[in-house]
Structure 1
């Protein structure tokens, strides 16, 4: 139940949020379905698609952050204790950091393998590491672990939204659902 104390986010903020969710769901599906990357792997098929979707995530999150910093979000629920509001801010901050860092790690790893990275074979992107770079290869290993960390953090975010909806009942979940209107 949305209350006047918990105004909804704007339509563009909701759009960026749910588009990010959709693109991430696609990316995780591709990541699970694509073959493991080995020394002789080529960036074709699902591997190439994974690279393009990762680059798309970076672009989408940067646009989303630009929107977020140029538009004040609605006030937070005052029902929630300050420590929970702080936890929410930290979680959101970590989500943004990982949503940018994770694709950049994969991109650096692709560059270290000598692969060209582009946005769906239309917009070529610069290499983030030199071919053969030890750091680029290490970032590939960290990329896989970080993908799991991001998934756990997403789970925490979803659990918190459900906690707000069904335990606290403060309308927080409704702030980001499509169809809810921004209250003044």
Structure 2
């Protein structure tokens, strides 16, 4: 490898530090857990109690909110080096990442609003209670639960697009973009 190629390789792979990669993979694990729990937990109706898988969904959701907020703060304070992309791919990447971050915040916050409207407590690690963000019995808070479910599918689609883009970079473009997020 020529010296200029080595420098380019360092440029590609130096994009994300260990903390950013940790938050990325933590969010991946929490989202995977949420989708599995969400698909297998019982339907929520009037009078449903936050027990079993529903309690797990609330707890993992609380951890997800914390992880996403910390991830966003870390990214703002420690922006990654930009990957050398074409102007088109740079725009697509910015839009996709922006929508992912938005969905990663909005979907769990809507679930939190729905839980609040049911009088359920949302706690980080089962200890630190989050404040209620809708009043008990709020019709808007209840409606947030339906929107939460629909937008979870949008989030799933964005994740699939993100994953497909990583594979596109690895196997079609054969660049080092994927390696920037691998340990």
Give the structure with the higher percent helix.
Answer: 2
Q: Deviations over 1:117-168 (max 9, x none)?
A: 2123311121110011111011100000000000000000000000000011
> How many pairs are equivalent?
176
Match of 1:28 in 2: 35
Instruction: Choose the corresponding residue for 2:45, options 32, 38, 45.
Output: 38
- Separation in 2 of the partners of 1:7 and 1:119? 33
- Could you say what secondary structure the match of 2:129 adopts? strand
- Separation in 2 of the partners of 1:22 and 1:116? 23
Q: Deviations over 1:14-71 (max 9, x none)?
A: 1111111011111111111111111121001110110111111111011111111111
Q: Which runs of 4+ in 1 moved over 4 A?
A: none
Gap regions ≥5 residues in structure 1:
179-184
The 8 Å contact of residues 109 and 137 in structure 1, kept in 2 or not, is answered as: yes
Tell me how far 1:5 sits from its aligned partner.
4.1
Aligned pair 1:94/2:99, yes or no?
Answer: yes
Match of 1:50 in 2: 57
Match of 2:146 in 1: 141
> What is the root-mean-square deviation in Å for CA atoms of aligned residues?
1.5
Gap regions ≥5 residues in structure 2:
1-7
The 8 Å contact of residues 7 and 74 in structure 1, kept in 2 or not, is answered as: no
Aligned pair 1:6/2:12, yes or no?
Answer: yes
Q: When the two structures are superposed, what TM-score results if normalisation uses the length of structure 2?
A: 0.92
- Separation in 1 of the partners of 2:109 and 2:130? 12
